[in-house]
Amino acid sequence: MAPSSQQRASSRHDASARKNLLPDGFDVDTLLSELTIEEKAALLAGKDFWHTQDIPRLKIPSIRTSDGPNGIRGTHFFGSTPSACLPCGTAIGATFDTALVRRIGNLLADEAKAKGAHVVLGPTINIQRGPLGGRGFESYSEDPLLSGTLAGSYCNGLQERDIVACLKHFVCNDQEHERMAVSSIVTDRALREIYLMPFMIAIEASKSGAIMTAYNRVNGVHASEKPELLRDILRGEWGWKGLVMSDWFGTYSTSEAIKAGLDLEMPGPTRWRGAALAHAVSANKVKVSELDARVREVLNLIKTAGKSGVPENAPEEELDREEDRSLLREVAANAAVLLKNDDAVLPLIKNKTIAVIGPNSKITTYCGGGSASLNAYRAVTPYDGIKAQAKGTVEFSQGAYGHKMLPQIGRDLVTSDGKSGFTIRTFNDPPSVHKREMLEERRLKDSIIFFVDYNHPNLNTIWYAEADGFFTPSESGLWDFGLSVTGTAELFVDGKLLISNVKHQKPGSSFLGTGTVEEMGHIELKAGQSYRITVQWGCAKTSTLKRAGTVDFGHGGLRFSASKRIDTKNAIREAAKLASQVDQVVLFAGLSGEWESEGEDRETMDLPPHTDDLISEVLDANPNTVIVIQSGTPVTMPWIKKAKTVIQAWYGGNETGHGIADIIYGDVNPSGKLPLTFPKRVKDNPTYLNYRSEGGRVLYGEDVYVGYRYYEEMEIEPSFAFGHGLSYTTFNLSDLNLQQKENNIISVGCKLENTGSREGAEVVQVYVAPVSPPIKRPVKELKGFIKKLLKGGEQADVEIDVDLVKATSFWEEKESRWCSAAGEYKIMVGTSSAGEFLETSVRVQKTRFWNGL
């Protein structure tokens, strides 16, 4: 019997572990002495989009990087090998589970080896200082301790299987608007206590092998050329050993970046190094010793990567193991946060009739947009997850659409020979050339095609593509088609032009901010009749649309889409009617990778148009409706008072639908906790007056009062507090006690009892509150946590170690040092940042100053 693709991948993976990337005797000092200036300069930039430069003369191999952070894409945007997609960053943050996150790192390490990658570009640990960040879903939390602690576990999970982790983005890359130009104006105190802290904690916990710099400026200077960050703090004060690489196209100088400590310019081929850097050395703008320091780190990274057993230029394979699917499902379920469950509506009963309603029901919002997105092995919709477990009748009603752009149509097409998907052909000549010669033909399924890394040996600078497939609508009516491009394109239905996106193009958010708005056309279609859909596309160089401040992502992109037009008011009425007629109702709504994506921030905190109306009317028809929200960051909930039961399900990765169904039917008891505060409205959040670039800068005016620190100080009640999350059982905390250990460590102990009948996990959270601080400080701050699983009726002793000096310290700006001020501090132990606490106090006898880790 022939081996399966999974067996082949596992076999190749095992075999690769026995190979050695490096030649015998790979010695960094020896190589440094043998490299020419030109070779050294070449090593300090990428070879291509994902690989470092090799030097065959000295047998220095190339190593491979890959996105991360929630899955390993491999080396292709175009035609990428499918991968395991984990729940998004905030979902992982919601687990509050260091052991689970370490297992996530293990899985990603195995996926990296299957994709031939040595370095994973993750985790992302920027702080969500506000709810509108387009990339907020990718990070863990608004709290630096939670972010850094989980990141350390993630890195350890990767590195214990010899894959290098790359923490990113260093630092203050907390918005997408003008991200390559904006200057983040931040006080030294906020920089240290909030934004550098996750990196500081993760480095101390894991000794990550690499760090990626942020696109933005920090107080006027780009992070990738700011010596105070790279030389003085990271390598000097913290003593970190590792490689610093730029974000992709985030290198902005030759000499300045080298002198500041930026080792590797990515991607390649170089813009700033190579001959330019060699010339800078010959002109004494860069010292040879400075050049050698940067080269040494590249060679050290290559040597570290050699331990992985992944050979140079390894083929990319699918892993897709059953145990990985189980882990992905476990993470999706454990990340879900039960926000409300009045009258114990949940869990639902499997043999009762259920209605599945809403815009997110039959689509798979499994990840956010941008470099974190990837081609998943599979993606289970919420509807399919419910249907797989339900034993009674399952009804469906759309209610409303939630898309920002029309849904991709590629998976609804078939090729001329009846295969799923569509045919894509590439040419050097435009469609106007009769009998033009085809370069190649492929079959694709996703109709969002990013040609960033497409290549063909005969490809010209300007080239063209044709997408072609057959569409058979399931319903008659008016259908809307959409076309968005980086480049130019026209869409035809049965040979008739429906949409032209060639002239008078308007800039939009597609393709990481480089594409056009979605141009639309409509046509009447009949159910069951086959229609030929053809798209004629020209590469980015065929367009006259110019975008300032955006990255040039190569050849461009194409996105074509379609959806049957609905009468939203009627659809909502139909959904409400169905809700009134069944035993149980689950309504799935939220955002998607269109609304939350790298390259563009959200404009509002609201759900898509008509969603709130749908939720409100369905709740009126059936007050016991379970509302499930999928988003990476907070959304407004104007209907929250009338909703009895609400779940925050995030973007759940490959097993989204199964993970949610496990919670809804009670196969898994929810244990997720909010890693960021959900405000009632966008105006309540601390960044409301200081978000987006204004005159080239963004003022971090909230200072250290980020997230719950701000809401507590201003006494603004949010919809849901940081750390909040309910369970199907109940817990009780008692018997708080403190024990002094060595090296300023205190053990915070208590008893945790599961007072219900169902097994469940609770997160015990330790906050420290200064009583009479010498400067103004937040009311309290998270300084420790632990997750504990208990059977019904079981109790256990819980201990959380807290470094009292670090937990009581603030950054003293006058002297540029940490200060643990003498005085009294409350130790508060609870299960969220709000609610009831066990409290005691501890006294710091003398003021201490310190620096470093």
Pairwise CA distance, residues 548 & 99, whole Å: 44
User: What is the rounded (10 degree) CA torsion for 11, 13, 19, 22?
Assistant: 160
The dihedral region occupied by 320, where left means phi > 0, alpha psi between -120 and 50, and beta the remainder, is left
Pairwise CA distance, residues 301 & 243, whole Å: 7
Q: Which of 54, 97, 110, 247 is catalytic?
A: 247
Give the three-state DSSP class for 679: coil
The β-bridge relationship of strands 164-170 and 210-213 is parallel
With contact defined as beta carbons under 8 Å apart, do 678 and 142 qualify? no
Q: What's CA 242's distance to the chain center, in Å?
A: 23
Closest CA to 307 of 157, 73, 119: 119
Any idea what DSSP says for residue 562?
A: E
| DSSP string for residues in 414-464 | E-TTS-BSEEEEEESS-TTSTTPPEEEEEEES-SEEE-TT---TT--SS-E
Reply yes or no on whether 54 is catalytic: no
Pairwise CA distance, residues 92 & 98, whole Å: 10
Amino acid in the structure at residue 69 = P
Q: What's CA 377's distance to the chain center, in Å?
A: 18
Q: Which sign does the torsion angle of CA 693, 699, 703, 709 carry?
A: negative
Closest CA to 788 of 753, 741, 814, 826: 753
Which residue stretches of 519-585 are H helix? 568-581
Helix axes 144-159, 98-114, angle to 10 degrees: 40
Pairwise CA distance, residues 221 & 183, whole Å: 7
Label residues 567-582 b or e (16+ Cβ within 10 Å = b). Answer: ebeebbebbbebbeeb
Give the three-state DSSP class for 827: strand
Catalytic residues: 247
